[in-house]
Amino acid sequence: MAESLTDIFSGTFSTRLQWTRVDSQEVGAVTDKQTVAGSYAIADGSGAAAADIVWCDTRTIPANSFDALDLLALTQSVVGVSVPCTIRQLRVLRVANNNATAGNEILVGSNEAGTIYAFKVGPGSEVAAVNQLDGWPVTSANATLRIANPNATAVAYSIYLVGTSVAAGA
């Protein structure tokens, strides 16, 4: 039996927006139909357009509280064993608000220069971002990702992070 596990990462982050708009006229109709898509391949490794870490979880934040996730000190369970997970460059971020109650938003941000919430994510909604080539560098100054729940009831969310364990230029 092998003494260690070897893994190889490959993934694609895709976005797609599709719509049809029909404008009825006195005679006939004008239809605008569009599809806009992006596809971002991420290979195994620590360089541009590469990753070697995937971290995901479904969590619940109590009322009027927040989660503070230190990207330099995450852990994940692999085959029943707790494994440290250090993200030095973040390539993909996805946060989904799993709540179905109208008005129950969550706030997503980092601790860089104090707590800054960059996104409000409504119930049944998500925010997703990709920085395929460069990644966002993670340092001790910006390592804490905060997910806040300003509501009077608990809110569940799912989070997905893809990145590298090696700092840019290392």
Q: Is the pLDDT of residue 54 over 50?
A: yes
92-148 pLDDT per residue, tens? 999 999 999 999 999 998 876 556 688 999 999 999 999 999 999 999 988 999 999
Average pLDDT, the chain: 89
SS (H, E, C) the chain: CCCCCCCCCCEEEEEEEEEEEEEECCCCEEEEEEEEEEEEEEEECCCCCEECEEEEEEEEECCCEEEEEECCCEEEEECCEEEEECCCEEEEEEEEECCCCCCCCEEEEECCCCCEEEEEECCCCEEEEECCCCCEECCCCCCEEEEEECCCCCEEEEEEEEEECCCCCC
pLDDT at 5 over 80: no
Given a cut of 60, whether residue 3 has pLDDT beyond it is no
- Over range 63-92, report the average pLDDT: 91
CATH, domain range 46-164: 2.60.120.770
Q: Measuring CA to CA, how many Å separate 39 from each of 11, 75, 78?
A: 10, 29, 28
pLDDT band at 2 (very low <50, low <70, confident <90, very high): very low
* pLDDT at site 29: 87
Q: What is the pLDDT of residue 28?
A: 85
What pLDDT score does 26 carry? 84
In this predicted structure, what is the pLDDT of residue 6?
67
**pLDDT at residue 1 tops 50:** no
Q: Tell me the domain boundaries of the chain.
A: 46-164
- What are 12's strand-pairing partners? 41
% residues pLDDT > 90 (the chain): 69
The predicted model gives 50-66 an average pLDDT of 94
What is the reported pLDDT for 110?
Answer: 81
